[in-house]
Amino acid sequence: MNNPDVISALILVVDDEEAARLMMTTTLEKAGFSVRAAADCASARALFAVYKFDVILLDVLLPDGDGFSLCKEFLLQPNGRDLPIAIVTGLDDLESIQLGYQSGATDFITKPVSWGTLPYRIHYILQGSRTILDLSVSESKTRALLSSIPDILMRIHRDGWVLDMQVGSINFDIQEWFYSVEGEGEAYGRLPPEVSRAVAHHIDAALNGEGMQLLEFEWAQVLGKVCFWEARIQQRDDNEVLMVVRDITQRKQHENQLRLSAKVF
């Protein structure tokens, strides 16, 4: 199995059956993986404390515990975060599969194991894990970039629901930008009525293909303190827009001062 992912991958095999443990170890080593093996929970913990594993193959029935609990234990450790773990067991009933995934397992392999395809199964587990990690890193970088700008970014459904929100570097109170409605799934809630009235027409215009909408509106985010806001609304798909909001109160105050100065002179 000539694959660059295999060369650096270290696998932990935990199984109390010596024959199964030996077969898994031999099969994976022949495919180019490095393997450490344990026959019980205590040995697995000792190896886990020393090595940084890329994948763990974990049997369910062990002499000093069970694989489900050990899976949860490993994933709670600093070096186990996001670690792919495959439950390997002859317990192929639905309850065991459900318990495996509830414990945080990435995959579920039943015995008797298909030895010929096992290395490829491990390769795809590795590939999937690294793809998820790459996406997580990419998302973190994107959110860090977005948080450095002074804008509020919102995804808004055509019905007025706030689907997602990212608050920028200015510390706005995010809760004041929508009011929650129970039983509405993953939506944050609806925009405040004053904001909704100000932007509703422009959201409809964007969704009707009239291009990006630019508007200004007044709204007292804090009671008694009216602020000026600028919003840019762009169609995202047939039922959703992206709205970027910026506080322009200081800019408006500066413009008013300039107008007043012009009148004086």
CB atoms under 10 Å from CB of 111, counted, come to: 14
DSSP 214-240: EEEEEEEEETTEEEEEEEEEEEEETTE
3-state secondary structure of 138: helix
Question: Which is nearest to 159 in space by CA: 190, 129, 205, 138?
Answer: 190
Question: What length is written for the chain?
Answer: 265
Residue 133: pLDDT above 50?
A: yes
Peptide bond into 112 cis (omega under 30): yes
**Model confidence band, residue 148 (pLDDT cutoffs 50, 70, 90):** low
* Residue 160 vs residue 157, higher pLDDT: 157
Question: Which is nearest to 194 in space by CA: 221, 215, 172?
Answer: 221
Block residue for tokens 């932990």: 12
pLDDT at 256: 67
pLDDT at 165: 79
Block residue for tokens 């898994």: 24
In whole angstroms, give the CA distance from residue 46 to residue 52.
12
Residue 3: pLDDT above 60?
A: no
pLDDT at 135: 59
Q: What is the pLDDT of residues 8-29, one digit of tens each?
A: 799 999 999 999 999 999 999 9
Two structure tokens written together for 198: 């100000």
Q: What is the pLDDT of residues 212-232, one digit of tens each?
A: 898 888 888 666 677 888 888
Beta carbons of 224 and 242 less than 8 angstroms apart: no
* Residue 231 vs residue 134, higher pLDDT: 231
Residue 182: pLDDT above 80?
A: no
Whole-number percent of the chain with pLDDT over 90 = 30
Q: What is the pLDDT of residues 226-254, one digit of tens each?
A: 788 888 899 998 899 999 888 888 877 77
In whole angstroms, give the CA distance from residue 78 to residue 232.
42
**Model confidence band, residue 202 (pLDDT cutoffs 50, 70, 90):** very high
* Residue 67 vs residue 253, higher pLDDT: 67
Beta carbons of 66 and 14 less than 8 angstroms apart: no
Beta carbons of 90 and 108 less than 8 angstroms apart: no
Tell me the whole-structure pTM to 2 decimals: 0.52
